[in-house]
Amino acid sequence: MFPLQLLTLLFITTTGNVVLKRGDLLEVPRTLFIHFGIYLGGGRVAHFIPDILPLVSKDRSRIGKMVTNGRLILGVLAKCGSVRVDSVDDFAYGSRILINSMDKVCSRPPLQAEEVAQRAERLCGDVTYSLLWYNCEHYVMYCRYGTAMSFQTFQFCKTMRKLVLSRFVAKVTALLGACLLFYLRTVNTWSILLAVLLPFIIWMAS
């Protein structure tokens, strides 16, 4: 029974009433978005998180501590991040953990649990962070499903498109351009081009 007990200790963890297994995709709400990670076993989670501290300090003990919201937000702005391994508690940051909920959303089946965990471990280290093009969700989606994508990013871009690239915005932009030309009483090639081209681009993209 000892080998079985050892495997259970290493790869299966019980958090409250929740059982975590190696290769599970974990998600927790954090600040303005949902944060994702891959469970490695032994109470450890690999996750890609923005962090400003590595840019301003070489103290590994400080960097290794839990990433606070302040460090996280500044890391987003500086596009600095890393795939790191933290405890389940540090990863959760006091929030409730959801397990493998992406399995219901993603059209691709998850990879084998061990392959998921190994992918997560291989990618550990400093990585350039991008809120839109490579964030924590891209990381876990690649590890678990083999495709780097982000539903949060997709929804954000879809919302921004509705807000910015709409016919209403095109009409308002055209009206503001005409008012600006009238107010400045300056008509030249560049001003006309700006007043006409910008609304036209927004109109065609809407």
pLDDT above 70 coverage of the chain, percent: 83
Token digits for 1? 């029974």
Q: pLDDT at residue 42 above 60?
A: yes
Task: Write out 131-145 in H/E/C secondary structure.
Answer: CCCECHHHHHHHHHH
Cα 120 from Cα 141, distance rounded (Å) = 10
Question: pTM of the predicted model, to two decimals?
Answer: 0.73
**Average pLDDT over all residues of the chain:** 82
Give pLDDT, residue 3: 39
**From 80, 106, 124, 136, active-site residue:** 136
Cα 50 from Cα 126, distance rounded (Å) = 10
| Residue 143 is among the residues annotated as catalytic for this protein | no
Q: Residue 186: which pLDDT band, with cuts at 50, 70 and 90?
A: low
Q: Are 30 and 71 in contact (CB under 8 A)?
A: no
Give Rg (Cα) of the chain.
Answer: 23
Query: How do residues 94-152 score in pLDDT, each as one tens digit?
Result: 889 999 988 998 889 999 999 999 999 999 998 899 888 899 999 999 999 999 888 87
